[in-house]
Structure 1
Amino acid sequence: MVHRDDLVPESVPSPSAAPLPGGAGRIAIISAGVGAGHDGAAAGLAERLAEHGYLVDRHDFLELLPIGTGRLLCGVYHRMLTWMPDGYQRLYAATDRTARPGVLWRALFRAAEQRTLRALAPDTRGVVSTYPGASQVLGALRRRGKLTVPAFTYLTDFSVHALWVAPGIDAHLAVHPVPAAQAHVQGAAGATVVGPVTDARFAPAGAGQRTAARERFALPADAPLALLVAGSWGVGPVRRAAVEIRETGVAVPVVVCGRNESLAEELRGDGIAHVFGWVDDMPGLMHACDVLVQNAGGLTSLEAFAAGLPVASYRCIPGHGRTNADALDEAGLAAWIRDPADLGPVLAELLHGPRGRAQRAVGLDLHRLAPGPATAIAARTRPHAAPDAHLAESRFAGRRRLASSAVTVAATACLGVVAPLAYAYNEAPARFSAVTPYLDGDGR
């Protein structure tokens, strides 16, 4: 994800839209500032809920972890993707194999429980997570009766890692039948297809918008343009992908580097003519381009579907980048190009052939046909629900928090340093493919 200038404020007042069944109330959304995709999904969801009369509180899960642990974990994750991609792939695979988080993860999540409860306003009627760690905390609180209102997980990925599925969560909301089926296979409660949430500005280019956008971004007027994105961090083999797109002769690469300014400079040094850093007007840039090439399968892909762009996954980052590419390919939404020799032919098909037209239609239908997550959330948040979102802390809570902080520091060190080495030679898990009941309408 490479833009997010429209984040919803901490508390969003209700506009004049009529509330959904279930009535207006207060909903808390817990995301995480890991890249920008989880926050972007939270922002879109907050906007939809506010349109229907809800007050929305936004919280960052990283801030709910004690003594700076969240930011430390985020930094470790970033460095592993950048410097140790193979180690991250093995860690991702190892944590995806078991139905229950390991002891270190459980200690880390337990340390966030009291802060999470204290962050919720007394009149909160439901809590939505857009980040796996937050889902684990909310599920544990629901199981032990400490959280007395419904808890939801909004699955922001097309593939469902085991940490996304938390016992105790009332409903797991998915953007498509493929992730809904994967979540169901892993035992998720209430796995439901609700569709994506994206900014309304992401729509197919109208008459004259394509020409105007190309002029605004100083892009070639007539050449086919491939928009290459790599998330807000600009991670992965982006330079190689940009050069390879250029060498196909099929399309001119237009690269967005997010916050990675050094990557932008390196690309310019490689002779890539159209390089951008952080882009505020991503809808406009998508209007200017003809195909999206991505490496992570996050929110930017959903935005491209809404904008009517065909999407290809190429040189994907480890972990969720590869599993998302597999799931998107299975869904018929994005071609996964595994062999560099196929890059030119597949881009040509997406730009000019029936494959591209088919993907555009499927991507647009993904946004047009699903009701959206606000409906599912409203159905489970009753106006007469008990407003107390959390129970009082005991007199020993301070001691428990101090002990949890010490455990968390140790867990963080182990997760960031020891775990990648311990999992260095573990095999990757098999992926799930149980889509048929959802395509037939029987999986809800």
Structure 2
Amino acid sequence: MRALIFSVSAGGGHSRAAEAIKDYIYLYDPDSEVKIIDTLKYINPIIDKVIIGSYLKTIKVTPSLFGKLYDYSETDFGLATISSKINEILTYRLLPLINDFEPDILIATHPFPTEMLSILKIKHKTELPTMSILTDYAPHSFWLHPCIDAYIVSNADMIPEMISKGIPKNTIFDIGIPIDPKFLTEYDRKETLAEIQFSTDKTTILIMGGSLGMGKIEYIYEELLGLENDIQIIVITGNNKKLYYELMKYQNISTKGKKTYIIGFTDKVNKYMQASDLLLTKPGGLTITEALICKIPIGVFSPIPGQEEKNTEFLVKHNLAVDLSHGNSTKETIENLLSDPNNLLAMKENCSKFSKPFVGRDIYNLILKLIKTNQA
């Protein structure tokens, strides 16, 4: 199999999904050739720097502006048309790459390349099968375009809305968001806690803010210190080195009777999820998917307005999470959650229902089916 995967390095989720698909293809077909393209960077590094730089700055400095643009682009035809025109101009830069590589399938893990693949199909520049992996828990119009042969979605709730926006039902597959195959490795909870000198009998709470270590992590941590509950805390700061060094003063000491362990960037997030009873996090699509695989209840904070707020709505609706981003204080909400062990147990059981551990196998089989149909 020869596969071209088009991603965009906006945050970590889109790239992680692309890497996961690549890993699964090689897992099931080691003789394959798979290439991941950072689409905007490939087309023009300056354009990539401007667009991605602006995106990251907006969600860090003025997330409310990003939320307004998210909502506006969902309803305003003018803004969508401008975006499509720009994308159409950029799209043709991909043709030489596609022709040279001669792939059997084209896959996108971001809205920009999804639209580009749609344009190539509409303009009859390619007849190759195309697949788009939606990396959140609610659809947005920026993802949805004609002539995409398969849309992979994280949950069945997304399907009616996508159909209402013109996407054929037979092109939507509730398979799930792909995660690194290594994430399925199981770790012994007691061994993990012993490694960091934690008790195996106390409630363990994990705090993280995605690969960028974003959100009000320090505030959440301070709120936990005020709990009456006997807890211990793990904090993963990701690539946020400033936050890491600020919190390191709490490493392996008991603050207000609560022991803390600080971790920077790690590729063993699943190890610490499996050792914890509750995850407090920003609701990025990949992080949610990983949490569901680990069957860990979630407390959501600092959602990016728009996409992550929609993710939060999904989680709360299905009793997979509590929302810490507004309303009651974090302290009160978590105290209420921990007051009855059945609360966490019910959420954990719900996580099992929405977990999709066979996502890699199912996507691989669908890719094979699309390729065979196209070659028939």
TM-score range, shorter chain: 0.7 to 0.9
The runs of 5 or more residues in structure 2 that have no matched partner are none
Q: Show the counterpart of 1:367.
A: 356
Q: Are 1:333 and 2:320 matched, yes or no?
A: yes
**Of 330, 341, 344, the match for 1:353:** 341
Q: Show the counterpart of 1:43.
A: 19
Q: Distance in 2 between matches of 1:166 and 1:383?
A: 21
Letter in 2 for 1:77: Y
Q: Are 1:252 and 2:232 matched, yes or no?
A: yes
1:131 shift after superposition: 0.5
1:103 shift after superposition: 4.0
Instruction: Give the TM-score normalised by the residue count of structure 2.
Output: 0.85
The 1:214–1:55 alpha-carbon spacing in structure 2 relative to 1, beyond 3 Å, is: same
Q: Show the counterpart of 2:219.
A: 240
Spell out the pairing of 1:208-357 with structure 2 (5 A cutoff).
209-250=188-229, 251-268=231-248, 273-337=260-324, 338-341=326-329, 343-346=331-334, 349=337, 353-357=341-345
Q: Distance in 1 between matches of 2:351 and 2:78?
A: 34
Determine helix, strand or coil for the equivalent of 1:293. Answer: strand
Q: Are 1:106 and 2:65 matched, yes or no?
A: no
1:149 shift after superposition: 0.5
**Of 27, 39, 51, the match for 2:3:** 27
Is the CA contact (8 Å cut-off) linking 2:295 and 2:352 kept in structure 1?
yes
Is the CA contact (8 Å cut-off) linking 1:99 and 1:186 kept in structure 2?
no
Q: Distance in 2 between matches of 1:278 and 1:296?
A: 18
* Deviation by residue 1:73-96 (Cα, 9 ceiling, x = unmatched): 111111111111221221122112
Q: Distance in 1 between matches of 2:340 and 2:95?
A: 53
* Deviation by residue 1:197-240 (Cα, 9 ceiling, x = unmatched): 2234435856xx11221233444544312111111122222222
Q: Show the counterpart of 1:177.
A: 156
**Of 175, 179, 186, the match for 1:194:** 175
Letter in 1 for 2:41: E
Q: Show the counterpart of 2:49.
A: 71
Q: Show the counterpart of 1:376.
A: 366
Determine helix, strand or coil for the equivalent of 1:29. Answer: strand
Determine helix, strand or coil for the equivalent of 2:37. Answer: strand
Spell out the pairing of 1:111-150 with structure 2 (5 A cutoff).
111-120=89-98, 121-150=100-129
The 1:263–1:372 alpha-carbon spacing in structure 2 relative to 1, beyond 3 Å, is: same
Q: Show the counterpart of 1:3.
A: none
The 1:114–1:279 alpha-carbon spacing in structure 2 relative to 1, beyond 3 Å, is: same
Q: Distance in 2 between matches of 1:202 and 1:379?
A: 26
Determine helix, strand or coil for the equivalent of 1:241. Answer: helix
Determine helix, strand or coil for the equivalent of 1:254. Answer: strand
1:128 shift after superposition: 0.9
Letter in 1 for 2:130: A
**Of 55, 59, 71, the match for 1:93:** 71
Q: Distance in 2 between matches of 1:217 and 1:71?
A: 39
Q: Which moved more, 1:340-349 or 1:191-200?
A: 340-349
1:38 shift after superposition: 0.8
Instruction: Say what the alpha-carbon RMSD is for the aligned residues.
Output: 2.7
1:244 shift after superposition: 1.7
The 1:336–1:369 alpha-carbon spacing in structure 2 relative to 1, beyond 3 Å, is: farther
The runs of 5 or more residues in structure 1 that have no matched partner are 1-24, 387-444
Determine helix, strand or coil for the equivalent of 1:202. Answer: helix
Give the length in aligned residue pairs: 360
Q: Distance in 2 between matches of 1:219 and 1:69?
A: 47
Q: Which moved more, 1:370-379 or 1:134-143?
A: 370-379
Q: Distance in 1 between matches of 2:374 and 2:164?
A: 33
Determine helix, strand or coil for the equivalent of 2:226. Answer: helix
Q: Distance in 2 between matches of 1:175 and 1:125?
A: 24
**Of 75, 80, 90, the match for 2:58:** 80
Higher helix share: 2
Q: Distance in 2 between matches of 1:162 and 1:269?
A: 45
1:358 shift after superposition: 3.0
Determine helix, strand or coil for the equivalent of 1:110. Answer: helix
* Deviation by residue 1:167-202 (Cα, 9 ceiling, x = unmatched): 221221112112333333322241221123223443
- Percent identity between the two aligned chains: 21
Is the CA contact (8 Å cut-off) linking 1:204 and 1:308 kept in structure 2?
no
Q: Distance in 2 between matches of 1:203 and 1:358?
A: 22
1:342 shift after superposition: 6.1
Determine helix, strand or coil for the equivalent of 2:104. Answer: strand
The 1:246–1:188 alpha-carbon spacing in structure 2 relative to 1, beyond 3 Å, is: farther
Is the CA contact (8 Å cut-off) linking 1:125 and 1:385 kept in structure 2?
no
Q: Which has the higher contact order (CA 8 A, sep 6+)?
A: 1
Instruction: Give the TM-score normalised by the residue count of structure 1.
Output: 0.73
* Deviation by residue 1:131-186 (Cα, 9 ceiling, x = unmatched): 11111111111111112201111111112121111222122111211233333332
Is the CA contact (8 Å cut-off) linking 2:7 and 2:38 kept in structure 1?
yes
The 1:100–1:158 alpha-carbon spacing in structure 2 relative to 1, beyond 3 Å, is: farther
